[in-house]
Structure 1
Amino acid sequence: MRTYFTFLTLLIFMISSATAQNNPQVKISNGALEGTFNVATGVNSFKGIPYALPPVGDLRWKEPQPAANWTGVLKADHFSHMAMQKRVYSDMIFRADTMSEDCLYLNVWVPAKQSAKKLPVLVYFYGGGFVSGDGSEPRYDGESMAQKGIIAITVNYRLGIFGFFAHPELTKESAHHASGNYGLLDQNAALRWVQANIAAFGGDPKLVTIAGESAGSISVSAQMASPLSKDLINGAIGESGAMIKPTTPPMSLADGEQNGVNVATNLKANSLAELRAISADQLLDYAAKPGNFRLSATVDGYFLPKTPAAIFAAGEQAHVPLLVGWNSTEVPYQAFTGGDMPTPENYAAKVKQQFGDNAAEVLKLYPGSTQEEVIKSATALASDRFIAYSTWKWADLQAKTGTKPVYRYVFSCPRPPEVHGGSTFTKLPPAMVGASHASEIEFAMGNLQYDKVYAWTADDYKVSATMQNYFANFIKTGNPNGGGLPVWTPNTNGSPVNFININIDTKLQPETDGGRYLFLDKFYSK
């Protein structure tokens, strides 16, 4: 019996030793990391790497500070804390199981097989309206991209009142006389971390592409515009959103400071020390109540010396290739018509109410003579005003003032029916014909298999392969073309405006909706 237990103990030791030897280790500027190896995919992952000091206590509402060094080997085998947030979006699934102000961590996926060439790098910023989201969400997982020879990174950054709170006293204490853009500065700190450390993983710091969806895409546009980040990147991908009116334009620093003064008054805090002494949970609860906190970036004179639109118009942004687009049905028609039936009469009245003297022009661009036409036009108008126009404007400005190609897309592949109890059924209203907001993420990142809600088909996997290969080619070369994909021509100033329509039958198409965006451009530029 003793011999048996001795043998069993030795066997367990040998197995655990072999497992430990298979775990990858990397030495970065702050110390040694030990990640995990997935034998099935041939990918190493390093999760929960601190890229800045925890922004807690006196570091709440301060620029991110460099991460502390450590001794020994840091186990980078699990996702760290997600940023402070409420449960806002039902489609968000987190693999991190803790939430904290101590949230400045990133995750890295690396091909395990060593390459003779330095690898291209993808840095992905999650969406969630700047109030929710996390780098642990399965739809952003970097393993599939790593299998294509790319180092993929997801970044956590401060959200809500923790990431976008401005105040006169914060501006005064800042060495740059700025406040309010802490979440964006976190992203910048992550990009600086990449420049300092990615070579240790086999990556090329001169071949870094940033990407994101919704708030993440808005972040990409802001990082391209910021003088702090524009020289840290070599390519950009935007999926639905730009920091351009009417989506999420930044407010002036003075307005941001007044917003912060109002918050402090309501919280009965008479100093920064008192504001910083308020618990994170209490701050989160306060800011989550409607009307208590206006969330916006600020034109702070540091991260953003001007609005992004003004920076792009002046040609002062990052001059890098841009792959950018939106989804065919970002939001349903009810986002414009409200609870009214989609009749021509109700639609015309709503247009008149919303656009006044411009109503006739709107009805020419978004006609509604039948219920079917009303649904189609109201969907387009709601989607344009929500996020498509701002993304179009970003692409248009970059094509006019940038020096690198702009590749535009529209993603129009609808999700399949949902899976429930072994069968499928459709919950979506008839208006949601096409691809809704955020539905392209799993396709682009090659992560359909992680989303168990939908009954994915062979056609869906075909679309995902097409979209991911476009993205992967772009990350590697700045050009999405190659590998037998339908040819995608770029937009440059003065050239015909085309876009790739990503669907089961992916193809290049000429822009036919330019009149809509030119009208909205005139409307929102007033």
Structure 2
Amino acid sequence: MAKAWIPLGLFLVLAVTVTDSRAASPTAATASGQLAGKSATVEGVALDEFLGIPFAAPPVGALRWKPPQPAPAWQGVRQAQAFGAQCMQLGLYDDMMFRSKGMAEDCLFLNVWAPAAHTGGKLPVLVYFYGGGFNAGDGSEKRYDGASMATRGIVTVTVNYRLGVFGFLAHPALTAESPEHASGNYGLLDQTAALQWVKANIAAFGGDPAQVTIAGESAGSMSVSGHMASKLSRGLFARAIGESGAMFAPLAPPDRAAGEALTELFATAIGKPSIAELRAMSAKELLEATRIQKNFHFGPIIDGRFLTQSPEKTFQTHQQTDVPLLLGSNSQEGACAELLNDSPPSAKNYRQYVTSRFGASAGKVLAQYPANSDAQALQSCTDLATDLHIAHSTWRWMAWQHRNGKAPVWFYYYAQPRPATRKPVPGQRPDAGAVHSAEIEYALGNLDGNLVYAWTDADRTTSHVMQSYFANFIIHGDPNGKGLPAWPAVAEQGGGLLRQTIDAHTRTEVDPHSARHAALQSVIEEEAKSEQ
């Protein structure tokens, strides 16, 4: 039976950041040199902020498409009061609000928010990886701001990593020059380098290198699943949080041969067939080439270094880093229009799509995503788009860790729709469900950094609960805490698995979607066997 919870509305506090009046800039000593940050006060808590810290050498020139190298040391005190450049990317998403100044290939910077009274290096640490399809994003985005989490006693870090063609190009020549006979996944190697930097330096900011939680949304969540699977990341984190996304089917990474073949087609298309010619291009020229050749999408592969086999196989054989895991997805991750190419969402059109996409397995899909009326077809189509887009991969990650891991798993279903916008367009309606990426501001306590939406008391209640769950997990390895609806770890009950539905009335339920995910898993695995 579901546990209903009525919000008390006692914690509707605006998060406001102001410059602190303390005269001296906070300082921190890292392995590369001394840093001078800036002071801030958030919700009455004094914080130290260190922005734009280089954690690796600039990946330019001969270091383009090389694993990240150590950051060079500097003399004197380096100013760390402004965000570093964002990594090279096309302007793909209109909801990304960057605070960095410009874009450059020299972009491997991270940012730290810490309580000002830190001593002894014993505070828990959150390292957050942004989303953006491995082709966009930046650690300066307002929704990832670390100040609110820092007020909870958590040293919070956001990390830049190389994107798109700069971060994920594989090439036979790169493979040949690699001691590990690997190429690709440079963006993921950047993340690993950042975690190594955190292990070596975070005590200088009050953080405990033995209490690091890695987290991320979308591509960042997929990255977290990859770090749990990668041997390179062992010993660099103690807990993991995934928000919508995993490197599991249908988002499993292809092998290196496929990545190399994609690069060779791209290089031929732009008339730069050799790696020397590609390296000789300016960053702007290379980025513009990806704009023109827009059918080439560079992302994670089984490169032979960061990943030596599919992450799903790693979890199936219990070779993953087995740490407490908190993860989930949103109620409306996808839209029916993505499947039907903007055709009317009728039962007829939807059934035609399912038959075309799944062939002999169409009946099994329609049994779980039915279309007995146009209204039902629209909901089923939206659910199927949600699962194929990202929710099903997240469910598989949860299921395999629950089945084959020893550490506990907490699984959520985020269902709070965003409210109306402050300046609604005529005819505009709020989303019926929680769309992809909608939970970020709620989870990190950053509603007030997003001025697009007219946040309500229900939104602030939801944010308080979700951020508290996250903070408790980061601090204690368990999301539960005083004043919160109880959240049991994943367990079998009533023919399904327990999950926490998070919205204005957060509650525990038996996952009603287990059957549809199991059916979809079976269909996807059958397709994979037929393609072998």
Look up the match of 2:17.
Answer: none
Larger Rg, first or second structure (1 or 2): 1
Aligned counterparts of 1:404 and 1:129: Cα–Cα separation in 2: 28
Give a deviation string over 1:276-313, Cα, whole Å, max 9, x none: 11011111111233555231322122110101111111
1:100 aligns with 2:104: yes
Aligned counterparts of 1:25 and 1:416: Cα–Cα separation in 2: 41
Aligned counterparts of 1:252 and 1:357: Cα–Cα separation in 2: 27
Which runs of 5 or more structure 2 residues have no equivalent in the other structure?
A: 1-19
Look up the match of 2:428.
Answer: 427
- Deviation for aligned residue 1:381: 0.7
Aligned counterparts of 1:75 and 1:285: Cα–Cα separation in 2: 32
Aligned with 2:318 (options 315, 326, 329): 315
CA contact (8 A) 1:321 1:404 kept: yes
Look up the match of 1:501.
Answer: 501
- Partner SS, residue 118 of structure 2: coil
Report the AA paired with residue 94 of structure 2: S
Look up the match of 1:261.
Answer: 264
Q: 1:350 to 1:145 in 2, by over 3 A?
A: same
CA contact (8 A) 1:417 1:425 kept: no
Look up the match of 2:476.
Answer: 477
CA contact (8 A) 1:251 1:296 kept: no
- Deviation for aligned residue 1:207: 0.5
CA contact (8 A) 2:164 2:297 kept: no
Aligned with 1:50 (options 50, 54, 72): 54
- Deviation for aligned residue 1:524: 1.6
Report the AA paired with residue 232 of structure 1: L
Aligned length: 504
1:399 aligns with 2:402: yes
Look up the match of 2:8.
Answer: none
- Partner SS, residue 28 of structure 2: strand
1:338 aligns with 2:341: yes
Q: How does 1:19-34 map to 2 (within 5 A)?
A: 21-34=23-36
1:137 aligns with 2:138: no
Aligned with 1:374 (options 357, 373, 377): 377
Report the AA paired with residue 29 of structure 1: A
CA contact (8 A) 2:350 2:371 kept: yes
Aligned counterparts of 1:355 and 1:258: Cα–Cα separation in 2: 27
- Deviation for aligned residue 1:338: 2.9
CA contact (8 A) 2:264 2:273 kept: no
Report the AA paired with residue 398 of structure 1: Q
Look up the match of 2:488.
Answer: 489
- Partner SS, residue 410 of structure 1: strand
- Deviation for aligned residue 1:259: 1.9
- Deviation for aligned residue 1:92: 0.6
Aligned with 1:37 (options 30, 36, 39): 39
Look up the match of 2:74.
Answer: 70
Of stretches 359-368 and 264-273 in structure 1, the one that deviates more from structure 2 is: 264-273
Seq. identity, %? 48
TM-score of the superposition, structure 2-length normalised? Answer: 0.92
- Deviation for aligned residue 1:155: 0.2
Which runs of 5 or more structure 1 residues have no equivalent in the other structure?
A: 1-17
Aligned counterparts of 1:425 and 1:124: Cα–Cα separation in 2: 37
Aligned counterparts of 2:121 and 2:97: Cα–Cα separation in 1: 35
- Deviation for aligned residue 1:492: 5.0
CA contact (8 A) 1:263 1:292 kept: no
Q: 1:22 to 1:493 in 2, by over 3 A?
A: farther
Aligned counterparts of 2:501 and 2:227: Cα–Cα separation in 1: 26
CA contact (8 A) 1:225 1:317 kept: yes
Give a deviation string over 1:343-397, Cα, whole Å, max 9, x none: 2222222222222222222222111222221121111011011101000001111
Q: How does 1:190-269 map to 2 (within 5 A)?
A: 190-247=194-251, 249-269=252-272
1:79 aligns with 2:78: no
Look up the match of 1:287.
Answer: 290
- Deviation for aligned residue 1:266: 2.8
CA contact (8 A) 1:108 1:154 kept: yes
Aligned counterparts of 1:364 and 1:327: Cα–Cα separation in 2: 22
Aligned counterparts of 2:273 and 2:365: Cα–Cα separation in 1: 49
- Deviation for aligned residue 1:484: 1.7
Measured on the aligned residues, the alpha-carbon RMSD in Å equals: 1.8
Deviating above 6 A after TM superposition, structure 1's stretches of 4 or more consecutive aligned residues are 423-426
- Partner SS, residue 232 of structure 2: coil
TM-score of the superposition, structure 1-length normalised? Answer: 0.93
CA contact (8 A) 2:99 2:142 kept: yes
- Partner SS, residue 233 of structure 2: coil
Aligned with 1:163 (options 156, 167, 170): 167
Give a deviation string over 1:96-138, Cα, whole Å, max 9, x none: 1210000000000001123567100000000001111000000
Report the AA paired with residue 323 of structure 2: V
- Deviation for aligned residue 1:512: 1.2
Q: 1:26 to 1:291 in 2, by over 3 A?
A: closer
- Partner SS, residue 422 of structure 2: strand
Report the AA paired with residue 505 of structure 1: H
Look up the match of 1:356.
Answer: 359
1:347 aligns with 2:363: no
Q: 1:33 to 1:19 in 2, by over 3 A?
A: farther
Aligned counterparts of 1:325 and 1:103: Cα–Cα separation in 2: 30
- Partner SS, residue 307 of structure 2: coil
Aligned counterparts of 2:392 and 2:442: Cα–Cα separation in 1: 23
- Partner SS, residue 312 of structure 2: helix
Aligned counterparts of 1:342 and 1:20: Cα–Cα separation in 2: 59
Of stretches 40-49 and 219-228 in structure 1, the one that deviates more from structure 2 is: 40-49
